[in-house]
Each structure stands twice: as structure tokens, then as C-alpha cells.
Structure 1
Amino acid sequence: MLVWIIQKISKSGVFFLLIMIQGLGLCAELKILSGNGSRPATIELCAQFQRVTGHRIVLEFYVNPTVKSKIEAGEYFDVAVLNPPVLDALIGMGKIDSSSRVTMGRIGLGVAIRKGSPRPDISTVQAFKKTLLQAKSVAYPGDGASGKYFVTLIDQLGISQEMATKMRPMSGEYNVEGVANGQVEMIVVVASRIYGVDGVDYVGLIPQELQTWIGFAAGVSEHSKEKEVARNFVKFISSQEAAKVMIPIGIEPFVE
């Protein structure tokens, strides 16, 4: 068996890893535990890494607290993709290698409606407030950081009482799909979750004055059996090449 590992620097200074394998049985398998916010980007980046390297990736999505609980309980994983505070907490527990930590990007809150519905005005704070008050039902992630912020935002806008019967907390895994199937009229969620979901129209980001940015970062498990491959994966998903995947789906990349 013969393995060549070639590291190249492209014109843009991007780290690019090409693994050429002659023979069988040399491909690694990585288990990735990820929060839902970065789902579209993480899926595409994992697919690209698999195509380039030949390694296999097992990818699982949950809300951030669930990922944290699984890791705390000792579930095996190679890489975690999470909100920075959650990832940093796991680093503090000795679950994730601090030297492998990378910040990938940040995502703002956006609005989606059922495909073909009249497009609401969310261009200003007052317009957004009016749209919320006129909506029959408004979904939001019931178990994530963005959902907690949205509930706080409703209170800050002074419309908690009016919105009480309209608010629909939904599971982070399939909340946007609830808009597509007509279960709810609209949703406020991290914008990246809206991309790639059939049956919805993306309205846009909520007004800047009300915006919060949800970051996401990645790190390698202290107990990974494939640390070298996992580190290469983390480098790839925080590269300029990865940024090309993130930008079109509403993620503002962070590249050191």
C-alpha cells in the first residue's frame, strides 16, 4: 500500500488537502456531532471533504444542548460543530482539544413564509413589529439559542401579551418545514436553516437594530481515534474554500 499526502497552497492562500490512496482499507471514518444552525453548510462541506479525501463522514444534527449532553455522557465523536459558548464549555471539561478550535462563521435571524404567500414587510423595526402582530402564527426554535433570543425580543418590542396566542415553539430539527406544510404562517430562525427547505420563501434578515448573531465553531474530540484526519477536516471547514459554501446560504464566514 502507498499513501501520498500532498499539501498545496492555492493562489488565494487556501489550505487544500488532497489524499491519494492506492490500495484498500486506508480511509477513515469521522463522526460529526453538529448543532442545527449550520446544517446546510455542514452537510455540503462534509460532502466536499468526502469527495476530495475518500474518508467517510457520519453526520448527526441536534440542538446544541442535546449535543452537549451527549458528549458529557461520553458518546463517541470526532468533531463537534456548535455555538462557541457550548464548544468552549466542552473544552473546559476536557472533552474537546483546545488547540483544534476554529471559529467558522456567524448567522443572523431571518424570516420565512410559505412559498407563494404575500411577502411581509420586515424592512424596519416598526414594519417587523406590525408584521408579527398581523400574523396568525409565528414559529421559532423552542429549544435553541435563537429561540430564546426571539422570546426576549418579543418582550423588548412590548408585544408579549398580543403575541402570546400566536407563538409556536417548535423542534429545532424540523421547524422550517412547519411553515412549508402550512402548520404555521411564518418563522423567525437562523437564516441558514431556511436555505434548501422546499415550500418556503425567504423574506430576509430581521432589522439590524434587532439582530443577534449566532456564531458557530468546531473542534476535535480529545478522544478521537482519527485525530489527524479530524484536524484536517476542521482546517478545511474554516478555510476560504469553505467560505464559498457558507456565503450563499446566509452565513457570514470567519477566516483567520
Structure 2
Amino acid sequence: MNRCNILSVSATIALGLALLGSTAGTIAGAAEIRLLSAVALHPAIDALIPDFEKISGHKITVAYGTAGAVADRVQKGEAADIVISSAPMIDRLQAQGKVIAGERVIFAKVGVGAFVRKGAAKPDISSADAFKRAVLAAASITYPDPAGGGASGIYVDGLLERLGIAAEMKPKTKLLPPTEKLYGSVASGDVEIGFNQISEILAQPTVELAGPLPSAIQNYTQFAPGIVTGSTRADAARALVAFLSSPRAESVLKAKGFE
């Protein structure tokens, strides 16, 4: 968790921990929470849900999508109690009145990394110049289709433009959805290098993280939860926010590739 958020988070944590204590082990206080989450958080959320359910007594139903897609679902009125998306998306939803204002807490961030087939040689991407050379030398690359609203795909697409190599790379680029197809294309050897958020790469057993993008061209996506306006389970949702901001959850997030 970022230091700048410690003070703003403390009140939320205190409230959430009180709610956790009051509902733990009680059937009457249990709620069923509907969560829409950015898919980059999938590995961490899946690991954290059982722990939260055990501590709080609440139950969570979760659906995943790109950061843009889950924000759009809330914007269009899909029933949910809490949404986790990129910080700018949550800000947009707050401005639209779709999530409760003044409760945004950044609890994790993740950078973009390159991945290759397991056991394959890793390209040198230790600097911006090395990254550019490695991409130009690659027979093919892939990253999530920006049209799907994923933060990493949008960023890599723009990065190639800024480096002045987008036109040269276009014939060698396969835009794929951030699912098995993205990783399968690299695992099978059809594509040489892939790019996505590090947390998602680490969760894939058939590919290997080649490394994060160098700091000069790295991009971090910050994630924040938003409690959906009109939710009848807002207190339970706040307990989940507090849990995600706790040291207990932070250790799991770090293990899954988040900072």
C-alpha cells in the first residue's frame, strides 16, 4: 500500500475491522457480496476470498473482466455491491455517481512485464533501448487487444507508438484477449514474446516472466475498490475493502506480483 494512502485508509480499516469482528461466526450478520473485479487481480482475489469469508462470515460472488469492462458493467447498471478497477476508472464511476464518493483506497499496483515460452531464451529488456531492440528483433509479439479495455494492452499499444516502431511492428503483432489465447500463443511457440500485467503472467504455468519493463518506460496500474451506489450490502463491502487493505492481504498481493 502506498504511504500517501496510510492516513486515508486508517479510518476505513478501523471501520472494516469492527465490521469483521461483529459479523464473524454469525449467520444473522452474514451477507452475500457481489464483486466485479479487474482480471489482473484474479490470482490474488481467488487466494484471498476464502480467508475473508472465514473471518467475516460473508460470502462473495466474483466476476472478472478487464478494468474497463467491469467499470462499464457498473456504469450500465449491472447489479453489484463492489467493483475493483483501475483508480482512474473508479474516479470516473464516482464522478458519475455510480460508486460512493470519498471512499477510494488504492490497495495495490502492478507493472507490465514481458513473457516467453517456458524454457525459452529471455530477451534483454533491461533498458528502453534494449527493449526497443528486442521487440524489433522478435519474429512476433502479442499483448491484450486495447479494444477490450485492458490497461496493459492500451499501454503497450501506446508505447510502441511513442518509440516510433508501431508501423514496423504491426505486421508482427497479434492482438488477443487476455485469456488462455494470449498465453497459449506464446506457450505453443506461435508468438515469440508477449506482454501483460506481471500478476497475470506469474499465474500462468506454461509461460515464464522474462522481466518487468525497464523503469524508464514502465507503467503501473493502481487498483482501487468502489462501493456501488445503492448497494444494500455496503457495510459488508466496506469490510472487504478493509480486509484488502490489511497487512494480511498485502502479503498475498506481494506474492502474486503486486506492489
**TM-score > 0.5 by shorter chain:** yes
Residue in 2 that maps onto 1:219 = 226
- Percent identity between matched residues is 32
Partner of residue 236 from structure 1, selected from 227, 230, 243: 243
The structural deviation recorded for 1:177 is 4.2
Structure 1 counterpart of 2:132, one-letter code: K
Within 5 A, what are the aligned runs for 1:113-192?
Answer: 113-142=116-145, 143=148, 144-174=150-180, 175-192=182-199
Residue 53 (1) aligns with residue 56 (2):
yes
- Count residues in correspondence: 239
Larger helix fraction of residues? 2
SS at match of 1:37: helix
Q: What is the distance in 2 between the residues matched to 1:116 and 1:226?
A: 47
Q: What is the distance in 2 between the residues matched to 1:209 and 1:77?
A: 38
Q: TM-score, normalised by structure 1?
A: 0.85
Gaps of 5+ in 1: 1-8
Partner of residue 100 from structure 2, selected from 97, 100, 103: 97
The structural deviation recorded for 1:26 is 4.7
SS at match of 1:21: coil
Structure 2 counterpart of 1:102, one-letter code: V
The structural deviation recorded for 1:191 is 0.9
Partner of residue 82 from structure 2, selected from 68, 79, 91: 79
The structural deviation recorded for 1:77 is 0.4
Residue in 2 that maps onto 1:247 = 254
Structure 1 counterpart of 2:59, one-letter code: R
Assess if the C-alpha contact under 8 Å between 1:146 and 1:189 holds in 2. Answer: yes
Q: What is the distance in 2 between the residues matched to 1:160 and 1:230?
A: 42
User: C-alpha deviations, 1:150-186, integer Å up to 9, x for none?
Assistant: 1121122222232111111111344334423444222
Within 5 A, what are the aligned runs for 1:199-218?
Answer: 199-218=206-225
Larger strand fraction of residues? 1
Residue in 1 that maps onto 2:25 = 21
Assess if the C-alpha contact under 8 Å between 1:100 and 1:234 holds in 2. Answer: no
Structure 1 counterpart of 2:101, one-letter code: S
Residue in 2 that maps onto 1:6 = none
SS at match of 2:171: coil
Q: TM-score, normalised by structure 2?
A: 0.85
SS at match of 2:55: helix
Q: 1:76 to 1:250 in 2, by over 3 A?
A: same
RMSD between aligned residues? 2.1
Assess if the C-alpha contact under 8 Å between 1:114 and 1:200 holds in 2. Answer: yes
Q: What is the distance in 2 between the residues matched to 1:47 and 1:86?
A: 27
Q: What is the distance in 2 between the residues matched to 1:49 and 1:196?
A: 21
Assess if the C-alpha contact under 8 Å between 2:183 and 2:206 holds in 1. Answer: no
Q: What is the distance in 1 between the residues matched to 2:43 and 2:170?
A: 31
Gaps of 5+ in 2: 1-9
Q: What is the distance in 1 between the residues matched to 2:166 and 2:247?
A: 42
Q: What is the distance in 2 between the residues matched to 1:191 and 1:89?
A: 25
Q: What is the distance in 2 between the residues matched to 1:190 and 1:21?
A: 37
Structure 1 counterpart of 2:160, one-letter code: I
